[in-house]
Structure 1
Amino acid sequence: MPDAGPDAPLLTDRFADAVAYAERHHRRQLRKGTRVPYVAHLLAVAAIVLEMETTEDEAIGALLHDVVEDGGGMAAHAEITARFGDDVARIVLANSDSTTVEGPKAPWHERKQAYLDAMAHKAPDELRVSLADKLHNARTIAADHRRLGEDLWPRFTTGRGEDVRWYYGALLAAFEARRDDLGDGGRRTLDELARVIAELGA
């Protein structure tokens, strides 16, 4: 049985609205190489953010972190600003691939390097959403690798395990450089990411 919570709810109707918004935007999308609805990833990322004992804005940013990048563009960013506020919109934009928001998608290595380079400039709330996103992705990759072995890698853009391992190793280093900015919950989550990435051999 859960503990009694505070008098005021930690999550309001804004969070429920964000769940519905994310589901509508992503309802035709699946996780790469699976029949898993993409919204499962968004709910998992939001759960990781909430388990860091953060804010409703960060949890909403987690739910919506792929809306701008995955087809919504800056029109969706403006709508998110109007519906959920400036801080949520900032978190979402900071966690969007800047090379795909406006214009054609750049090559894989260029996109990943741009994301890594931006890590040094993210605000703490933006970092925590990024960390939750990468932890859930890494957990999924590790679980699929246990099941499929090296047959897993063709589902990724480059088709090469060494590329994925390089990226997650570089992500871990970038998060470690910002460890002091993550807060207690973020640091615990970062330690978990390190354990999962070690399993991948990165």
Structure 2
Amino acid sequence: MTEMQNDPGRWSRLADATGFALNIHAEQTRKGSEVPYISHLLGVASLVLEHGGDEEQAIAGLLHDAIEDQGAHQEPIIAERFGARVASIVRGCTDADTLPKPPWRARKAAYLAHLETAGPDVLLVSCADKLYNARAIRIDLQTHGLAVFERFNAGHAGTLWYYRALAASFQRLLPGPLSAELATTVAELGQMATALDR
């Protein structure tokens, strides 16, 4: 059996992107918790790789919230440092880059419409992002009950509407195990929320 050669250049760009993400998101925590935000970004990159993504798609997974959370000035920095493809994916995963953000429902409806013409790179990273979030909401729903929806602008009904719409879109636009798990997780969220609301 031949041992694999150690390639010092393999994953070096992903390592660089991890450091970049750690730096720009250093002070952020997950909504309504003390969990470092970087956990979400690492989780999304991991899902991208687990579902066949390449290094640039994984980098975009790490940086998918950079424009939305840290400002539009990050886009040219990302393009220069990680390339036009990565910057394009990050832009495609961004639902707003202004403060204050546009009204929630209109912004989410626009994002759903945007997915209809998004390329496979954006669909993969965005679906990984939404699956990670849905999993986290499911865990928090088990732990904290319906109070978890108080963290979200849209509350219980709006959050479930959005995730159901996302799951339906991704099943159609990106059929496969990733979107299937999103659909299953979102269905479980709805069932749990209904049971807790009785």
TM-score of the superposition, structure 2-length normalised?
0.90
In the TM superposition, 1:110-121 aligns within 5 A as 110-121=106-117
| Secondary structure class of the residue paired with 1:201 | helix
Report what 1:90 is aligned to. 88
Q: CA deviation at 1:5?
A: 5.9
How far apart are the structure 2 equivalents of 1:15 and 1:65?
13
> What is the CA distance between 1:172 and its match in structure 2?
0.9
Residues in 1 aligned to 2:19 and 2:32: alpha-carbon distance in whole angstroms: 24
- Aligned counterpart, 1:147: 143
**Mapping of residues 49-128 of structure 1, within 5 Å:** 49-73=48-72, 75-97=73-95, 100-102=96-98, 104-128=100-124
Provide the C-alpha distance between the structure 1 equivalents of 2:4 and 2:184, rounded to a whole number of angstroms. Answer: 32
Instruction: Kindly provide the CA deviation profile for residues 19-50 of structure 1, in whole angstroms up to 9, marking residues without a partner as x.
Output: 00001100111000000000000000000000
| 2:168 maps to 1:173 | yes
Counterpart CA distance in 2 for 1:133 and 1:5 is 32
Q: How many residues align?
A: 189
Corresponding residue for residue 194 of structure 1: 183
Distance in 1 (alpha carbons) for counterparts of 2:141 and 2:8: 39
Query: Aligned to 2:29, what secondary structure does the other structure show?
Result: coil
> Gapped runs of 5+ residues in structure 1?
181-186
Alignment partners' CA distance in 2, 1:124 and 1:152: 32
List gaps (5 residues or longer) in structure 2.
Answer: 192-198
* Matches of 2:172 and 2:8, distance apart in 1: 34
Two-structure CA RMSD over aligned residues (Å): 1.8
State the 1:198 CA deviation: 0.9
Query: Which whole-Å deviations, capped at 9, do the CAs of 1:31-74 have from their partners, x for residues lacking one?
Result: 0000000000000000000001221000000000000111221x
Native 8 Å contact 2:57 2:86 kept in 1: yes
State whether residues 10 and 56 of structure 1, in contact with CA within 8 Å, keep that contact through their aligned partners in structure 2. Answer: no
Instruction: Tell me the equivalent position of 2:13.
Output: 14
In structure 2, distance between residues paired with 1:115 and 1:42: 20
Greater alpha carbon shift after TM alignment, 63-72 vs 100-109:
100-109
Matched residues in 1 for 2:162 and 2:10: separation?
A: 34
Corresponding position of 1:26: 25
- Counterpart code for 2:50: E
State the AA in 1 paired with 2:171.
Answer: E
CA distance in 2, matches of 1:189, 1:59: 15
Identical positions, percent: 43
Once the 2 structures are TM-superposed, how far is the Cα of residue 125 of structure 1 from its aligned partner? 1.0
Please, which moves more after superposition, 14-23 or 147-156?
147-156
